[in-house]
Amino acid sequence: MSLPSTYDFGKIDLELIHDDHQELERRLEAVRHAVAQDTTDGLIEALERLRDYALTHYGLEESMMMSSRYPHIREHARMHQRLLGILNRAIHRRRQTSDAPTRETVEGIEELHYLHVSTDDAQFGQWLSGKVV
Ligand SMILES: [Fe+2]
Ligand SMILES: [Fe+2]
């Protein structure tokens, strides 16, 4: 979703980000469950569902950042790329080999996700709050 440059931000935008984070948590939980079950199809599907939602969510955040002229967009987007890279590599590896992401890999993804939400996203949320009309 891309927003026009004159877009006026409202509370709904902050709620959208919050709702997205809850959905990402649900999909992370599904990945954790799939790792425990360890079926190739189920695991790839769960990872792809997480990656696809993350891609959409990151696009939304970056679009809001551009429209609000957020000064830290580059560093923030770099972290999005890093998270997507980890997910894409895990999907690729699982498709090409029988290597399933280990519980540690999934925990690493979760840790990075929660760190990003509690620091980078929180910082952007505060910035956006100042723009809310
Ligand atoms: Fe986020
Ligand atoms: Fe983010």
Q: Domains plus CATH for the chain?
A: 11-129 (1.20.120.50)
Mean pLDDT in residue range 88-93: 90
- CA of 5 from ligand 1 middle (Å) equals 21
- CA of 17 from ligand 1 middle (Å) equals 6
pLDDT in tens, 16-65: 899 999 999 999 999 999 988 877 788 889 999 999 999 999 999 999 99
What residues sit around ligand 1, an ion, with C-beta below 5 angstroms? 121
82/73 Cα distance (integer angstroms)? 14
- CA of 55 from ligand 2 middle (Å) equals 10
34/115 Cα distance (integer angstroms)? 23
Q: Which one-letter amino acid corresponds to residue 100? A: A
- CA of 76 from ligand 1 middle (Å) equals 10
Mean pLDDT of the chain: 87
